[in-house]
Chains A and B, each alone.
Chain A
């Protein structure tokens, strides 16, 4: 289908942002249609937008949205991009590319927050924050991503969560161009009182803005956010050279990095619980040992996985591991935290590999870990990957989820539909001194491999079944077919989202594909017994007018 924008509408976009900052050239538009990660239809391309506009101010964003609404066009925000979530999900969408809104408006050192625009990336904010002894939460997707996008519109998990929480919980004041084009400031900035609070007066409108996930572009555009910053006990600038895999950094004396191995998942979880109660830890991530090989040395990894004993050692014997970065107020404080960590790991039959005993590794890992640089290297082995997202809750629930998904993965890996990564390969993160936790199970694949495409619906279905069996609202419920299945089992949340969508977006101008849209799941290639299993679970767990099943 050829999609075009009318001359009249295009002229209004030009008037809104200037002729140099809007385009409808196919070559430009198609560049927005490829996103490196995921797609709602398991294809590498999103629908192309009909035009792209690059506003530089909130007022321009507002004008673009109003122009779209006048001409029956939808709009979809794009900040730093990464996956299909930022692209159009349907036709007649104007892509609002926010890359010109790239300012750190303010860092309030005393009150530990920064006001940022959409195209500020994590690395940029972190570098500036560290200069004043502060740090920012960076999501696992990496420092190239927009903290505003993860806080307002996306998910928000990162392995600094033990100390720096989850993006949704780090929002203070907020500026939001609603789907009508009207500008709304949430919390204290809405009353012109500064940006220190996002809640009130009275009910918090932050709850309409996002929940577990953001609206993924389905509820207007967020143009400024005040984000919490956190203590950084290291130097204003960490002396480093090289990049990513050949990075070396000078390690501050009050920061340590430890690999903690356990004989099984239960022992690991017990240790994590105790670490939370001891209130130590600056960054932490449970990850599979083979994952290091896979992201750092994919060619070597492919050879290793064909070895019997070595792969077993890496995947099984060393399979239960978390990384822990400790940051003390002083060298003495670090030593105390180390002793606490040692006592806990020892009590749960584990052992610690202190990276200070492997200087090259520590020198490389520290800033890569703090800056969340390494996870994106998972693209290297197959060209793409996906994850099975559960629902963040207790540590125990995430261990259970990780194990269940690992079982499902093995079946697909053995059939060559996904890449065998020799382990459960979780991205498992504790939040807020282990108050709750997150586990998504990564599975790399080659999206050019037809066998993957053949299996993709099956694997998604197995994850949905797994989630429902484990009483989880699956994180991939943002996909329209999954939403249609899961919402009736999950407080009918999409019924209410649609109500809010209608209230705040009467013309339905925002692209709702990943917010409220529901589509039928394609069951045609799903084995009948799995369809029957899903039907049984849905029947058991669907909410009725009277509420949940009892």
Chain B
């Protein structure tokens, strides 16, 4: 598809002329993201309601346009919203209302453009808290974040991979509307709410779970127009602890023992560089703070709620103290440059601007995957070896380990900082990211969210899965109009 074949008039008829843009200044942010580059956005179309999105998809089926969904503000890092061939960006960020916030059932109804700042403020007013990923970008869409299975920092609330996403409204690549979970029940949403439903059950309807299918699909199967998000009650007392240690294995042992009985709230492990990047506000501060941290630091929170909060917290502290002793680690209330209160604020907020990972050197590349906690040390060794091989200082390698699914699995994330103005360094990091990803895959890392080049790495391991996903694509996007070229579908699905 070239620029000339895009039916801009058709899109203008759907959303109005003011909501179609071909301005280079707007298109620019869709040309590159992290390792993804050479994107070819030809126009941005901005629907303001579900029916417009549906008509956009129907028009794309008629004209063969390649639609790429976006709902977050730039900068972009993953590449899922960078068209891999000429594409029309469907910008949903203007749909940014929190349409309902239900305190009793701890649930928010949000549109795609709702950001973390927006939702945190609204939830806080009614005594609820948002289940946060680690320092999301300020302009990051909450809905997009969880559609991409971004991990949250409180493992005990992560019961299943769909959490904290609950019910959704989506438009398939066929142009058909569908509602998932209890939102798909009979009646209008208002009638359902009047009948007592709070749209907290993400399963179904029926025997298929479209939320689960669409989650992780990078916009290749459907566009989501609103969702319900699980919130949790804000603690009445809350305290953060740090457990610095030279040995990661001890912290992992501590984690296993503590998470099994669901002790603690926030729970994450950072190496010195990742911790310094989190708490340092300038490049110099990051360098200085990294040198003052223990090689590894576990961060955890304990809370008390409405009933006997101090007693609950004291019990948790006592239990965790015993477990820490058994694991041979020592919790403290402060690490260099970061008292507990500062970390508490960090864990409850989006990133300041500029995005915190760009602070050390201006740019970064992430490598992330899933593994069990007992495999993490091995995979870190693989990553460090790759760094050494490519001449990248391991002291500059950020490592973040986030237990998910109540400790059964971990999201492991490496960050490689570099100066984007330094071509040689940029090239070196790109090569390192590629070879390290392959080495990690060979060592057992599961690239469950295969952005960009990882799709080749991930899908070559599972040809049966690829065949099954092609069947799904044929059902939900038979004309291949959604984010063409992403994931594993190839051309033959059309």
- Interface residue? A470 (CB, 8 A): yes
- Interface residue? B341 (CB, 8 A): no
Q: A184-B468, A202-B487, A496-B475 are in contact. Are A471 and B191 (CB under 8 A)?
A: yes
The CA of A204 and the CA of B465, in the complex, are separated in Å by 10
Flag if A336 contacts B206 (CB, 8 Å).
no
- Interface residue? A191 (CB, 8 A): yes
Contact of A168 among B203, B214, B444 (CB under 8 A): B203
Flag if B184 contacts A493 (CB, 8 Å).
yes
Q: A110-B374, A113-B408, A214-B207 are in contact. Are A394 and B198 (CB under 8 A)?
A: yes
Contact of B201 among A203, A391, A493 (CB under 8 A): A391
- Interface residue? B161 (CB, 8 A): yes
Closest-CB distance, A428 to chain B (whole angstroms): 14
Secondary structure of the A contact surface, majority rule:
mixed
The CA of A330 and the CA of B323, in the complex, are separated in Å by 13
Binds B, one of A71-79, A270-278, A412-420: A270-278
In the complex, per-residue mask of B411-453: 1 if CB is within 8 Å of any chain A CB, else 0 = 0000000000000000000000000000000001111111000
Flag if A212 contacts B447 (CB, 8 Å).
no
Q: A206-B209, A489-B186, A491-B205 are in contact. Are A548 and B177 (CB under 8 A)?
A: yes
Q: A196-B408, A203-B214, A393-B182 are in contact. Are A212 and B459 (CB under 8 A)?
A: no
- Interface residue? B221 (CB, 8 A): yes
Closest-CB distance, B49 to chain A (whole angstroms): 12
In the complex, per-residue mask of B466-486: 1 if CB is within 8 Å of any chain A CB, else 0 = 001101101100000000000
Closest-CB distance, B32 to chain A (whole angstroms): 22
Secondary structure of the B contact surface, majority rule:
loop
- Report which residue of B179, B198, B210, B448 has the largest number of chain A beta carbons within 10 angstroms of its beta carbon: B448
Q: Which residues of B contact A493 (CB under 8 A)?
A: 184, 204-208
- Interface residue? A182 (CB, 8 A): yes
- A99-137, CB < 8 A from B: 108, 110-113, 133
Residue of A nearest to B311 (CB): A336
Closest-CB distance, A448 to chain B (whole angstroms): 32
Binds A, one of B7-15, B81-89, B286-294, B301-309: B301-309
Residue of A nearest to B180 (CB): A491
Flag if A188 contacts B308 (CB, 8 Å).
no
Residue of B nearest to A503 (CB): B471
The CA of A121 and the CA of B37, in the complex, are separated in Å by 52
Q: Which residues of A contact B444 (CB under 8 A)?
A: 193-194
Chain B contact-residue range equals 35 or more
Flag if B233 contacts A207 (CB, 8 Å).
no
Residue of B nearest to A470 (CB): B195
Flag if B448 contacts A197 (CB, 8 Å).
yes
Closest-CB distance, B222 to chain A (whole angstroms): 10
Q: Which residues of A contact B178 (CB under 8 A)?
A: 491, 496
Flag if A204 contacts B185 (CB, 8 Å).
no
- A180-196, CB < 8 A from B: 182-188, 190-194, 196
Q: Which residues of A contact B378 (CB under 8 A)?
A: none
Binds A, one of B111-119, B254-262, B349-357: B254-262
- Interface residue? B78 (CB, 8 A): no
The CA of A396 and the CA of B104, in the complex, are separated in Å by 10
Given pairs A203-B487, A343-B307, 12 additional interface contacts (CB within 8 A): A110-B373, A112-B408, A182-B464, A191-B458, A200-B370, A205-B465, A211-B204, A329-B319, A394-B198, A397-B197, A471-B195, A547-B54
A residues apposed to B, CB below 8 Å: 108, 110-113, 133, 165-166, 168-170, 172, 178, 182-188, 190-194, 196-208, 210-216, 218, 228, 231, 233, 273-274, 277-279, 329-330, 332-333, 336, 339-340, 343-344, 391-397, 399-400, 432, 435-436, 467-473, 477-478, 486-487, 489-491, 493-494, 496-497, 499-500, 503-504, 515, 537, 541, 546-550
Sample 20 A-B pairs with CB under 8 A, ordered by A number. Answer: A110-B373, A133-B260, A169-B203, A184-B468, A196-B408, A197-B448, A198-B161, A199-B149, A200-B449, A207-B214, A212-B201, A333-B315, A391-B185, A400-B196, A436-B201, A491-B179, A493-B207, A503-B474, A537-B186, A541-B187
